Amino acid sequence: MEFYYPRTVKKTVALLRRPSSLAVAGGTSFIVKPRVEHLVDLTRLELNYIRDKKTEVLIGATTTATNISESQVLGRLASGILRAASSIMADTQLRNVITVGGDIACRYIWANLPPALMVLDARLKIVGSKERVIPIEKFFKSRLQPGEFISEVIVPKKSTKGKGAFIKFSRTKSEYSLITVAVYAERLGKKTSVVRVAVSGNTPPTRIKAIEVGLQGKVITEELLERTTMKAVAQLQLTESYIFSEDYRRELLGTLLKRGLKKVLMGG
């Protein structure tokens, strides 16, 4: 096995294109010895940045959870939903090394940042033999090609002007998330104009379109919120868990979704 420290994106792509190679960002997912021949360090590519552009905020792939949780710029977007999601992830020492790219690319069911990024309509810049930009949702329905890696997360400012909320549930604060809920909404007069909802933990990171459609363009009442949420939750396919019963997790998901939606849509 060998460990590489490329300084350019081009070199990184060339290294990652070889069979049996794997990127290392924070390294926190490597609890067991990786069965690969080449480990490629992504943290020396100067991809640790948060840039406030005119229409977007750009987050470099190796920006840490600590950096995100302390960012003033990100604190201003959608009630600071990214700050919230990154500051209640794992614990202080782990947040100091966990990267946004790693939290997405590990595709773990408990990941906090993917649902929060999904409700902001974030896109991922992927570099490889050529560069492409895809919606974060598409990343979870596809695979990276050999040599490809995530170099940047792009958060469009126009989809962050409304209110957001992020909830994580776990038995202890620093344990892996059992459920995460991310909600984002905009309003036009008395009616909602945009509603986006995403979850992880019980399912891989995913948007819940049934709730979004059910609440979009509506005057929100407690009754509507209850009915729409419970119906959507009943239809969701939950991943198996050997710790908690499905009934319990479904009940909990409904409760947390309603809590998040109420906070954003009814101010409480």
The 3-state secondary structure of 169-188 reads ECCCCCCCCCEEEEEEEEEE
66 near other proteins, judged by CB under 8 A: yes
Query: Which amino acid, residue 103?
Result: D
Q: Is 3 in the site for other proteins (CB under 8 A)?
A: yes
Q: 34 or 75, CB closer to other proteins? A: 34
For residue 224, give the 3-state DSSP assignment. Answer: helix
Segment interacting with other proteins, rule: CB under 8 A, options 26-34, 55-63, 162-170, 204-212: 26-34
- DSSP symbol at 158: G
Cα angle at 107 between 102 and 108, to 5 degrees?
Answer: 100
Interaction of residue 162 with ligand FAD, rule CB under 6 A: no
**Tokens at 163, concatenated:** 């209110």
Element (H, E) at 106: none
Distance, in Å, from the CA atom of 192 to the CA atom of 225, rounded to the nearest integer, reads 12
- Which of 130, 171, 173, 190 binds other proteins (CB under 8 A)? It is 173
The answer to whether the beta carbons of residues 210 and 227 sit under 8 Å apart is no
> Residue 93 binds what, of other proteins, ligand FAD, none (CB under 5 to 8 Å, by partner type)?
other proteins
Shortest Cβ 253–other proteins spacing (Å): 25
Report, in Å, the least distance between residue 214 CB and ligand FAD: 28
Residue 27 binds ligand FAD (CB under 6 A):
yes
Q: Stretches 10-18, 20-28, 114-122, 234-242: which one binds other proteins (CB under 8 A)? A: 20-28
Tokens standing for residue 171: 């038995």
Measured CA to CA, the distance from residue 265 to residue 197 in angstroms comes to 12
Residue 256 structure tokens: 């947390």
Please identify which residue in 67, 108, 119, 262 interacts with ligand FAD, judged by CB under 6 A: 108
What's the closest the beta carbon of residue 218 comes to other proteins, in angstroms?
A: 39
Sole binder of ligand FAD in the list 13, 25, 182, 232 (CB under 6 A): 25
Give the torsion sign (CA, 69, 74, 75, 80): negative
Residue 173 contact among ligand FAD, other proteins, none, beta carbon within 5 to 8 Å by kind: other proteins
Which tokens go with 264? 């954003």
Question: Is 236 an interacting residue with respect to other proteins (CB under 8 A)?
Answer: no
- Residue 263 C-beta: closest distance to other proteins, Å: 22
94 makes contact with other proteins (CB under 8 A): yes
Alpha-carbon distance of 34 to 95, in angstroms, equals 22
Q: Which is nearer to other proteins, 94 or 236 (CB)?
A: 94
Pairing of strands 50-52, 132-135: unpaired
Q: Are 148 and 139 in contact (CB under 8 A)?
A: no
Residues that bind ligand FAD (CB under 6 A): 22-30, 42, 61, 89-90, 94, 97-99, 101-103, 105-106, 108, 110-113, 149-150, 176-177
Residues at the interface with other proteins (CB under 8 A)? 1-3, 5, 24, 27-28, 30-31, 33-34, 39, 41, 43, 66, 90-94, 96-97, 173-174
